[in-house]
Chains A and B, each alone.
Chain A
Amino acid sequence: MSEAVLRAQGLNLARRHKSVLTDIHLEVRRGQIITLIGPNGCGKSTLIRVLLGLEQADSGTIERKSGLHIGYMPQKLSLDQRMPLTVEDFLRLTRHATRADISYWLQRLNIEVLAPLSVHDLSGGEWQRVLLVRAVLMKPDLLVLDEPVQGVDVQGQMELYNLIPQLRDELNCAVLMVSHDLHLVMAATDEVICLNGHVCCSGHPDSVSVDPAYLQLFGARGAAPIAHYTHHHDHQHCDHDHHLHTGEQND
């Protein structure tokens, strides 16, 4: 097995007396693509923030490989209009990024034309790609992508998801990704972790997609867009019989 770059054990976090994360165990190994899925408000983004060290868990441990480089692509980053900034200047601010690296990755992601443009003039999809370039410029051991395809058109989403395994191979890094688009993710991921405050189930996409807990969360018709489902049952355990519940989840 390849080396673990990040290992979290027994993470717990409560906000205003409400438990957000419960006993989370997670291991990310080099070369692996792990996807966190789960309904809105299930703690995906919070878990990412804790793993990145932006927030403290109440208990539990996080071990990082020493000298771990993390490339992080946030879900959203809005820049203040009052700062004049070109894409190239923005990328130049990444630590240790050389001009050669920047022009290589801009070309690699097919956005070299954006370099001289103002960051305020980009479309959502273009900006997502610039943020991805910024993340890979860190020469990461671990690439963390929070909803990488938000605001990207369908064609672009496919391209981005196809790109992720390529980036993993090229950078020889681990990828930890948050998504709620199951189908696109399933094809490009080694392990899926289904999160709803706690880890409901995890494993290879094929086994997760038939896991009762997964079906409990997302409904049997995995083919339908999950945004249409609300997670409103009283979720205590993952091992109920999904056949009894799937009907309830359809709003």
Chain B
Amino acid sequence: MTDAWWLMPLLAGLLLASVAGPLGSFVVWKRMAFFGDTLAHGALLGITFGVLTDINLTLALILGSLLLALVLLPLEQRSRLASDTLLGIVSHSTLAIGLVTLSLAQGVRVDLMGYLFGDLLAVAEADVSWIAIAAVLTGGLLFWQWRALLAVTISPELASIDGHPVKRLNLLLILLLALIVALAMKVVGILLVSALLIIPPAAARSVARSPAQMALTASLVGMASVMLGLWASFRWDTPAGPSVVVSATLLFALSLVVQEVRERKRA
């Protein structure tokens, strides 16, 4: 391999962060943070499934995540349990079942820490291709359906009267979320996936004046976090995934300061 060792991790991180910005903005607006978390936890089941059936692990991960999203969506809408209770049950039970079954699968060695906390530096060319395809698909669909998705987010009822296919748009968003969550696990790990989705939009909120600005700023914040995190990881030999999340958190804190200063100026 002639490329520098850091090229693939950097590409993977930047691609993911660029679509996690707009997608994460919807997660923030629609209060789906816990939903994303649950998908990430449940994705471990996908890995178990992949190990047991010996299919491509990335594919197993994506399929597991999409399947879980499809099962959760109607369950959440119909269940009498409060949504957070239901998600809490599914989230932790799938994580536990995944861990138990993985330990039972004989003769299989899976880098569990890698899945839990991400192993950005182990990202290979094949992973980057998966992520690139997913990023183009997600970015393209979000861009294409942007106004409709915003309308549905603002008010499902008004959107429905306007003639938007509300259910299909919600499904689209959930499936894209499942796809990106599955792939982001490689980068930041199961436990930190939703950080990549939530923190950049939260940082963008304090400076943005329109939904599109917030989504784009979130992309930029996410990409900056990836670069900062990788650099820190290289510089101080810290784990890459958590370093990215720490960088995002620092940028979020900085955005709060910017907002505070702005408001004082206005007052």
**Interface of A with B (CB < 8 Å)?**
52-54, 70, 72, 74, 77, 79-80, 82-86, 89-90, 93-95, 118, 134, 138
On whether A84 and B158 interact (CB within 8 A), knowing A93-B147, A93-B150, A95-B163, the answer reads no
Q: Decide: B213 and A84 in contact? CB cutoff 8 A.
A: yes
User: Distance (Å) between the CB of A63 and the closest chain B CB?
Assistant: 17
Measured in the bound complex, the distance between the Cα atoms of B158 and A72 in whole Å is 7
Contact among B158, B161, B162, B210 with A89 in the assembled complex (CB-CB below 8 Å): B210
Q: Decide: B162 and A84 in contact? CB cutoff 8 A.
A: no
Contact among A54, A80, A84, A90 with B161 in the assembled complex (CB-CB below 8 Å): A54
User: Distance (Å) between the CB of B27 and the closest chain A CB?
Assistant: 10
Q: Decide: B154 and A74 in contact? CB cutoff 8 A.
A: no
Number of A-B contacts (CB under 8 A): 53
Contacts of A77 in B (CB 8 A): 155, 158
Q: With a 10 A CB-CB cut-off, give which of B31, B151, B161, B205 has the most chain A CB atoms.
A: B161
Q: Decide: A85 and B211 in contact? CB cutoff 8 A.
A: yes
Contacts of B28 in A (CB 8 A): 82
Q: Decide: B208 and A84 in contact? CB cutoff 8 A.
A: yes
Contacts of A54 in B (CB 8 A): 157, 160-161
User: Distance (Å) between the CB of B129 and the closest chain A CB?
Assistant: 34
Interface mask (B138-176 → A, CB under 8 Å = 1, otherwise 0): 000000000100110111011011111000000000000
Measured in the bound complex, the distance between the Cα atoms of B22 and A53 in whole Å is 31
Q: Decide: A86 and B209 in contact? CB cutoff 8 A.
A: yes
Q: Decide: B211 and A94 in contact? CB cutoff 8 A.
A: no
Contacts of A138 in B (CB 8 A): 162
Residue of B nearest to A95 (CB): B162
On whether A86 and B151 interact (CB within 8 A), knowing A54-B160, A70-B161, the answer reads no
Residue of A nearest to B153 (CB): A83
Contacts of B208 in A (CB 8 A): 84
B6 at the interface (CB under 8 A from A): no
Q: Decide: A83 and B209 in contact? CB cutoff 8 A.
A: no
User: Distance (Å) between the CB of B8 and the closest chain A CB?
Assistant: 34
Measured in the bound complex, the distance between the Cα atoms of B205 and A79 in whole Å is 15
Q: Decide: B161 and A52 in contact? CB cutoff 8 A.
A: yes
Q: Decide: B29 and A80 in contact? CB cutoff 8 A.
A: yes
Contact among B157, B163, B214 with A74 in the assembled complex (CB-CB below 8 Å): B157
Measured in the bound complex, the distance between the Cα atoms of B214 and A82 in whole Å is 10
Contacts of B209 in A (CB 8 A): 84, 86, 118
Contact among B162, B164, B211 with A83 in the assembled complex (CB-CB below 8 Å): B211
A-B contact pairs, 16 of them (CB 8 A): A53-B160, A70-B161, A74-B157, A74-B158, A77-B155, A77-B158, A79-B154, A80-B31, A82-B29, A84-B211, A84-B213, A89-B210, A89-B211, A90-B154, A93-B147, A93-B154
Measured in the bound complex, the distance between the Cα atoms of B86 and A179 in whole Å is 39
Measured in the bound complex, the distance between the Cα atoms of B158 and A82 in whole Å is 19
Residue of A nearest to B201 (CB): A82
Q: Decide: B210 and A84 in contact? CB cutoff 8 A.
A: yes
User: Distance (Å) between the CB of A93 and the closest chain B CB?
Assistant: 5
Q: A52-B161, A94-B162 are in contact. List 19 more A-B contacts (CB 8 A).
A: A54-B160, A70-B161, A72-B157, A74-B155, A74-B158, A79-B154, A80-B29, A82-B28, A83-B214, A84-B208, A84-B213, A85-B154, A85-B210, A89-B210, A90-B154, A93-B147, A93-B150, A95-B162, A134-B158
Contacts of A79 in B (CB 8 A): 154
User: Distance (Å) between the CB of A53 and the closest chain B CB?
Assistant: 7
Measured in the bound complex, the distance between the Cα atoms of B158 and A138 in whole Å is 11
Contacts of A82 in B (CB 8 A): 28-29, 205
Q: Decide: B150 and A86 in contact? CB cutoff 8 A.
A: no
Contacts of A134 in B (CB 8 A): 158
Measured in the bound complex, the distance between the Cα atoms of B21 and A28 in whole Å is 46
Measured in the bound complex, the distance between the Cα atoms of B153 and A93 in whole Å is 11
User: Distance (Å) between the CB of A94 and the closest chain B CB?
Assistant: 7
User: Distance (Å) between the CB of A169 and the closest chain B CB?
Assistant: 23
Contacts of B151 in A (CB 8 A): 93, 95
